[in-house]
Amino acid sequence: MNARQLFNKWVVLGALIVAGCLTLVTVISIGWTTPLRSTDVGFAPAQLTVIFAPTATPDVTPTATIDPFAPSPTPTGLAVGGYAQITGTNGEGLRIRAAPGLSGEPVFLGFDSEVFLVQDGPRESDGYVWWYLVAPYDDARAGWAAADFLTYIPAP
């Protein structure tokens, strides 16, 4: 049997008629089963959320305690155990050095707004006050920095 006998004009015409009938039945059934849209606009019921009034909280003022073993902060506010932020480099960055002083080998470059933990200092050298800083997220980023470019910030 060859392809010409399988696909004669009557087979093709019959297939087209069956496909057309199925398409017509589908279109009609969709039209009858789809709900009609309402044309009138009414009010929708509102959702009500009840929020209870706050209760009274006793007014207690905290009292400051002084740790006798904590190092006293300097006039700039920097102290061992506190946090310092690099400022005032005008985008050039601050050279963090291996030793306090301008002769100390630069270890890395700290950028404005970068925050460090103060672990040692102060030390005076070459006309600057130096603090030993360690990045809280990376112990490898540690070294001495000049206080002129550091600002005290509270613990994050």
What are 55-103's pLDDT values in tens digits? 777 777 776 666 666 555 555 688 899 999 999 898 899 999 999 999 9
Is there a contact between 113 and 135 (Cβ–Cβ < 8 Å)? Answer: no
Chosen CATH of 83-153 out of 2.30.30.40, 3.40.47.10, 2.40.50.100, 3.40.190.10:
2.30.30.40
Q: Give the residue-averaged pLDDT of 13-38.
A: 83
Beta-carbon neighbour count of residue 144 at 10 Å? Answer: 22
Amino acid of residue 25:
V
Residue 51: the pLDDT is: 79
Residue 9: the pLDDT is: 84
Domain residue limits, the chain = 7-31, 83-153
Residue 141's closest CA among 112, 110, 100? 110
Distance CA(52)–CA(33), nearest Å, equals 46
DSSP state of 111: -
Sequence length of the chain is: 156
